[in-house]
Amino acid sequence: MLVLGCFAHGTAYHYAPGNMERVVQYRLAHHQIHPGGDYVALRDCGMIGQSVYLVLPDRVDGPFQVADCLAQGDTPPEEFVVDLSWTLAQKYHTEWMPLKEVSVCQ
C-alpha cells in the first residue's frame, strides 16, 4: 500500500510543447535527474531530481521526476503547484485549461 505525504495543493499548469524536453536534456547533461518516465516542475528548486506523485480528482498518478522549478523572480499564480510536461497535459486532457484540485505528494 502506498502512503503519501502531500505538501502542496492547487492548480496544475503545463509547459508549451518542447519546453520541458529542453529542460530535461539540460538536467540530464548535468546529471541532475535520471532518464526515463515523465517529468514535472515545482516551485521549490530543492526538489529537482526527486520523485513525486500527483493526486488528481479521480486518481493518483506517478511517480514523476522533478526536472524544473521556478526561476528567481518568477511570479506564478498563487494557486500554482505544478507544471506538467506537454505529454502529461495531453494525457490529462488539460492542453487548453489548467487542472484544478491537484495535490503534490511524496
Residues linked to residue 6 through DSSP beta bridges, in sequence order = 105
The pTM of the full predicted model, rounded to 2 decimals, is 0.88
Do residues 85 and 106 make contact, with C-beta atoms less than 8 angstroms apart? no
Extents of the domains making up the chain: 6-105
Task: Name the CATH superfamily for 6-105.
Answer: RlpA-like domain (2.40.40.10)
Measured distance CA(42)–CA(44) in Å, rounded: 6
Measured distance CA(65)–CA(85) in Å, rounded: 11
Q: What pLDDT is stored for residue 49 in this prediction?
A: 97
Query: Residue by residue, what is the 3-state secondary structure of 47-80?
Result: HCCCEEEEEECCEEEEEEEEEEECCCCCCCCCCE
Q: What pLDDT is stored for residue 43 in this prediction?
A: 87
Q: What pLDDT is stored for residue 76 in this prediction?
A: 64
Per-residue pLDDT for the chain (106 aa), expressed as one digit of tens each?
A: 566 799 989 888 888 888 999 999 999 999 999 998 899 999 889 999 999 999 988 889 999 999 999 877 776 667 777 888 888 888 888 777 788 889 999 9
